Structure 1
Amino acid sequence: MSEAHIEIRDLCMAYGSRVIQRDLNFAINRGDIFVIMGGSGCGKSTLLRHLLGLIEPATGDILYSGESFVHADPEARDTMRRSWGITYQSGGLFTAMTLAENIALPLQLYTRYSKTEQADIIDYKLALVGLSGYQDYYPSEISGGMRKRAALARAIALDPEILFFDEPSAGLDPISSRLLDELIVQLQQSTGATVVMVTHELPSIFGIATNSVYLDAATKTMIAYGDPRELRDHSDQPVVRQFLARESGTPIEEQA
């Protein structure tokens, strides 16, 4: 049986009196490649920020391996965060640092590895993402797809149990996007990490996702949960079927 790695219980997300999403209840199982999806403005990235502890929920709870993150003290939260790796839409690399220096940051902050040990880890992580030999390159000297992979190398520097992605394919051409998806699958299979990904890209959703939740902007709650292929073919919600059956590349209109 699958084990819940992350549980969202009765979560309400709001900015003051403005509710973004309410009554969110779902689980992300250990080893899932889990997609948070929905139309523009539905709260996908807001949910990710809640999972990361960047925004406090109005009500409800978020549990990691059965332990509440919302009600944890700062020290316990820091301990939980040590098991996460995070990549952002832009990659989030420090432009004044080489790729090696970027990847070294979490190693310097959270480990006692020697300089030699750090260099070995950096070499290994760059090799995993297909960037061997690029240690001394700056982000501006490599392509967008390579920057995404370098950001992933930094995200896995501490061998995280959970990897979070915010629109990982944003700004990439279809070939680079597919290669990044394949890399995410390879890393998940080799490490056993749980992957949580915000995306609206159908090739990614159908290519690598094992489970998903659909956030609806109109009703301000989740209206579908499960394998996206099953939802596309059998969901009782027309908006979900329409979202998943649209032609790849068709713009998603913002839902009122």
Structure 2
Amino acid sequence: MTKSSEAGARPARAGAFEARIEVRDLTMAFGDFVVMRDLNFIVRRGDILVVMGGSGCGKSTLLRHMIGLLEPARGEILYEGKSFTRASTEERQHMLRRFGVTYQSGALWSSMTLAENVALPLAEFTDLSEWEIRAIARLKLSLVGLKGFEDYYPSQISGGMQKRAALARAMALDPDVLFFDEPSAGLDPISTRLLNELIIELRDSLGATIMVVTHDLASIFMIANNSVFLDGISRRMIAQGDPRELRDHCDIPAVQKFLRPDFESRAEAQTDG
């Protein structure tokens, strides 16, 4: 397994080497079918970690394990040293309130305005007044560049704006950890870049730790200072580190093939030479 010793082009803030998330000996399975086995990695405070790998290797399945939608076949997940996997229902609910999650589709409620979507977790999990909730919803939408769109419905805005509105909702409770499942799916290159810039800005301004599932290479190289590579053939994690370092120095063919689309043609040229 290859690991990068560098913090990346965008190092995390002070205290970054303190583990925010730790995955220990995690095996993911559906019945007798093993998706991934023996996953071990650490996400440091302030990291933007990308989960990479080919289609069907278990990237989104890993994210669902991280937020408790699926339970491990073996192993555990810890947040700041406390076991999320073995926590009681009450303890897990308390930990979940420190997470923000955006799904590939955005998952906004179509019958609610953007402000009402953002206000929903605030109304559900806080004792704030209606006026305070409305004010926070406006603030969160403003932070993602949607000031003035509070009363719009999801169907009235573009796909990129829907992604940002979903992020505003994920930020509603000021989470310590943000999870993104294919955030750039369905977006044009300009919208993707704007969303990536927003993710970096949130990490830098809020000190959040961020975990992103994506196969988009431009996004990976733009936002990540850490990554894990899941190999669908061996069903194991075969590399971890800054994706730029893995691209330039990792000698594992599967990793090179993923991070360097020209890898096979370059290898053939070297063989012919």
Gaps in structure 1 of 5+ consecutive residues: 248-256
Q: Which residue pairs with 2:226 in the alignment?
A: 211
> Of the candidates 25, 33, 36, which is equivalent to residue 48 of structure 2?
33
Residues of 2 paired with 1:46 and 1:24: CA distance? 13
TM-score under structure 1 normalisation?
0.95
Q: Distance in 1 between matches of 2:197 and 2:261?
A: 23
Residue 271 (structure 2) aligns with: none
TM-score normalised to structure 2 length: 0.89
- CA shift for structure 1 position 242: 1.3
Partner of 1:117: 132
Residue 107 of structure 1, aligned match among 118, 122, 128? 122
Aligned equivalents of 1:122, 1:62: Cα separation in 2: 31
Q: What whole-Å deviation, never above 9, does each CA across 1:66-94 have from its counterpart, x for those lacking one? A: 00011110000001000000000010100
* 1:234 maps to 2:255: no
Find the counterpart in structure 2 of residue 172 from structure 1. 187
1:236 Cα deviation from its structure 2 partner: 2.3
Q: Cα deviations across residues 223-243 of structure 1 (Å, max 9, x unaligned)?
A: 000000010111121110110
- The amino acid across from 1:132 in the alignment is K
SS, match of residue 227 in structure 2: strand
Q: Distance in 2 between matches of 1:175 and 1:43?
A: 28
Shift of 1:50: 0.5
Give 1:218 shift. Answer: 0.3
By how many angstroms is 1:115 displaced? 1.3
Work out the number of aligned pairs and report it: 247
Equivalent-residue separation in structure 2 for 1:221 and 1:236 (angstroms): 17
User: Identity, % of aligned pairs?
Assistant: 64
> CA RMSD for the aligned pairs?
0.8
1:31-59, CA deviations, whole angstroms, 9 ceiling, x for partnerless residues? Answer: 00000010011000000000011111000
* Counterparts of residues 176-195 of structure 1 (less than 5 Å): 176-195=191-210
Separation in structure 1 between the aligned mates of residue 28 and residue 122 of structure 2, nearest angstrom? 33
What letter is aligned with 2:58?
G
Question: What's the secondary structure of 1:102's corresponding residue?
Answer: helix
Q: 1:60 aligns with which of 69, 75, 85?
A: 75
**Structure 1 consecutive aligned stretches of length 4 or more whose deviation exceeds 2 Å:** none
Report which of the two structures shows the higher radius of gyration computed on alpha carbons: 2
